[in-house]
Amino acid sequence: MPTPLPPELLNNEPEGFAWGVWHDRTPKLITQIKEAVPYGPAQRQGFDALEEEISSGLMQPLGDAAPERDLWVSWGEDYFGKPWIDTPFLWSESYFFRRVLEVTGYFAPGPWYGLDPFEPMKTAELSDPSLEPDLQALDSLSTPQDKLLASLWGNRADLVFHVGRTRGATHPETGGLIIDQSDQLWSHLGPDARVVVIADNAGREFLADLVLIDHLLGHDLAASVTLHLKPRPYYVSDATTADFVACLRRLSRTRGAAEQISARLRRAVAGGSLTLDTHDFYCSPWDYRRMPGDLAARLRSATITILKGDLNYRRLVGDRSWPATTDFAAVSAYFPSPVAALRTLKSDVVTGVDAATEAQLDASGLEWRTDGTHGLIQVAAMPGATGDGV
Ligand SMILES: O=P(O)(O)OC[C@@]1(O)O[C@H](CO)[C@@H](O)[C@@H]1O
C-alpha cells in the first residue's frame, strides 16, 4: 500500500526554511555572482529584473529563444503568473537556477556560452589553503567508516549553505548522526557490487566522495562505480564533469595519499571500473517519483545507489511536510534500486526519526532540521516500481 503523500512545501510560510532562502540567501547569491563574474550590462540588468520578479513580481516563463522553453512552460503551467513565494520550494528553486543560466547567456551561442557562473566560488573552495592540511590528513584516514563519515559530513560544506552565513557559525559539536544505518549500507557492498553514486556538491564534499569511491573500488567493496553528475551548473556548487576533473587535479597536487587516490581514480576511469553518467532530469524541478523510464532503467541494475546530500534527499522522499517519524524505507520503496541517503540536514524535510529522538531534538532549541549540524545515513532496501517519466 503506497504511503499517501502530504502537501508539498511551499515558499510562503514565514517560519519555514524556504522563506529565508528567498528573502535572504537568493539576493546575496545574485550579488555574489555579479561580483565574481565580469558580466556586462545586459546580464546585470537581467539579474536585477530576476531579483525584482522574485521579490515583488509574478513568475515568468523562459524567454522565447530559450532551449526547452515549451517543456518548462508545460511543467510550470500551475505556477507562471503567480508570485514566486506562492509556489513549491523544490520547483521554484530549480527554476531559479535555470533562470540564472538564461540570464548569464549560458545557453545562447556567443561569448558566454557554457560558462559556469558559479565557477569562481567552486575554484575558491578548491584553492582555499585550509584544504591542504585536510588532504594531507588523508594519509591517516584509514577505516572505511571514517571515509563514509567524511563523505557524509562533507555535505555540510556546500556553497549554497554558506551564502549569507559565516563559516564556522554553526557548532558541529552540538550536532551528530541522528540515524546511522551504515551497517545496512556496508552489507550491500562487496566484490560484485555495482554501485551508483548520485553526487551532490563539488569542492570539499566531492573530494570526500572521491576518497570513498576509491576505497570501494580498491577494497573489493564494489566491482564498478557509476558517478552521476549534473549536466550543467545547478544549485551553485552541484558537481558537473568539469568539477570531477578539477577535483582530481586538486587531489593530485597534495603529496601522499591524495595524489595516489587521484592516480587510482584516473586509472579506474581509463579502465572502465569508474564511469561518469548524467541525465537532464537531475536539473529538472521534480522529485525522483517522476524519474523518466530511461534513468530508472539505468539505476535498476545497481546493487545500491548512494544519494548524496540534502537536495537529493528532498527529491527522494519528496519535498513535503512529512512527519519526522514517517517510515523512510516505505516512502523510498518506489526507487528503482536499494538506496542509501548520506545527508547533512539542511532543510525542513526529514523522515525515519524515532519519536523520542525527535522530542529530544525539538527540546534542544537547536534548528536541528536546517542548521547543518546533524546528519543521517538511511538505507531503503526494497527495489520498487519503474519510473513513470516526466
Ligand atoms: O543538496 P545540498 O547541497 O546538500 O543542499 C542544498 C541546499 O543547501 O540548498 C537549498 C537551499 O538553497 C536547501 O534545500 C539545501 O539545504
Q: How far is the CA of 219 from the centre of ligand 1 (A)?
A: 32
Give the distance (Å) from ligand 1 centre to CA of residue 189: 28
Ligand 1 centroid distance, CA of 192 (Å): 33
Q: Whose CA is nearest to atom 2 of ligand 1?
A: 310
SS3 string, 290-307, reads: HCCHHHHHHHHCCCEEEE
Q: Which domains does the chain have, with CATH numbers?
A: 17-116 (no CATH), 120-380 (3.40.50.10880)
Cα separation, 358 vs 323, whole angstroms: 10
User: Going by CA atoms, what residue is nearest to atom 9 of ligand 1?
Assistant: 160
Task: Render pLDDT for 302-350 as a digit per residue (tens, 0 to 9).
Answer: 999 999 999 999 999 999 999 999 999 999 999 999 999 999 999 999 9
Listed in sequence order, the DSSP H helices in the chain are 17-20, 26-36, 41-56, 69-75, 89-104, 119-127, 131-136, 144-154, 159-162, 182-187, 204-218, 241-252, 257-271, 293-300, 309-317, 328-331, 355-363
User: For ligand 1, what atom is nearest to the CA of residue 343?
Assistant: 4
Q: Which of 310, 368, 369 to mutate to test the pocket of ligand 1 (most atoms within 8 A of CB)?
A: 310
Ligand 1: distance of its center to the CA of 77 in Å? Answer: 25
Query: For 115-138, what is each residue's pLDDT tens digit?
Result: 999 999 999 999 999 999 989 988
**3 state SS of 189:** coil
Residues 52-110: pLDDT tens digits? 999 999 999 999 999 999 999 999 999 999 999 999 999 999 999 999 999 999 999 99
21 lines ligand 1 (CB under 6 A): yes
Is a pLDDT exceeding 80 seen at residue 141? no
- Could you tell me the distance, in angstroms and rounded to a whole number, from the CA of residue 311 to the centre of ligand 1? 5
Contacts of 262 (CB under 8 A, 6+ apart): 248, 249, 251, 252
ipTM of the complex: 0.96
β-pairing, 339-344 vs 374-380, is: antiparallel
Q: Which three cell numbers stand for residue 87?
A: 509556489
For 223-257, the pLDDT digits (tens) are 999 999 999 999 999 999 999 999 999 999 999 99
What pLDDT, on a 0 to 100 scale, did the predictor assign at position 44?
Answer: 98
Cβ–Cβ < 8 Å for 213, 274:
yes
Number of neighbours of residue 240 by Cβ within 10 angstroms = 22
